[in-house]
A and B are shown apart, each in its own frame.
Chain A
Amino acid sequence: MEDFAPLGARVAVYSGSNGRRWGNVTSAATAPAKQASFEELVREHERMVFSIAYRFLRNGAAAEEVAQDVFLALFRSLSKLESPEHAVAWLRRVACHRSIDYARRNRNAAAEVSWDELAGGPRESGRAERESDPMLSKRLRQVVAALPDKMRMVVVLRYQEEAGLEEIAQAMRIPVNTVKSTLHRAHAILREKIGSSIGEGNV
């Protein structure tokens, strides 16, 4: 990766996951380059962005709407991105905030959709369903889905995205200590609801 500062009308050119390279070209001559960079980013991160929205909103159509908006916002902000890592952090942060905003705006509609109704929803990645008890996974998703918004997003980032406390704090723009305490409370709720199901009694 090459480091460079974002410069006004310049566009970050992303050459893909195989040969990652970020460079500078002027916007005037690089509409196709911009499109190509954007396509690479969409294809590489569509699962992450869609999954954050989907796990949070529990609604495939809403998740697609939010994920599309996130990528369009990315398209408008390509010139501000400095590196692939910056792109990932940016996408994660915007996906979090847009999902939370969407949930607030559409509180009633989102609440009507439960995990039970999502049988025809997006495919799970497969490994989880093969290796674990499907009923337990379903129960866990139900409990997570019932958590308050911010707590749910912290749990999604922690266990879906494997994000560290600092990363979660940056994505959600909250202090690290708040992330810690939120996770602690989420764990307590999960322990209470799920503990016996995984043979831990009152874990």
Chain B
Amino acid sequence: MQGDGERIEITISSRFENIELVQVIAEHLCENAGVDEDGSHWIGMAVREAVANAIKHGNKLDISKKVNATFDLRGSELEITISDEGAGFDPTKVSDPLDKQNLMKTSGRGIFYMKTFMDAVHYSFNPGGGTSLVMTKNLAKGSGIASTKA
């Protein structure tokens, strides 16, 4: 694992086709830090879900609004911040997709994915508008999904 710090920042307009740009950065950053292909994939998937939520639910597909992604790697600790310009939401009202009553719903799994693939997920809501999602992952611990499997 590399010990040097690394910071990468990218700002995109709210288009679904831009999601992959951010996902690829995440995956390459992880691979460069020594994470295996599977681990990098799942972190990239968490980033994909976060950016998709920011575009769809945060910025409501308004292409004039931006999504900012920041990757901070310090030692083996990766912190990813995804920020949008939306009105925010109440995280306590996000339903559990594993509840039997929610299992067959066609949406509502994005945040669950992030929590599954990352060590921690937090939201902050800026007084002037906009939501920031902060996800952290200790890259030395390997792929997060393996520990959640039945």
A and B: bona fide binding partners: no
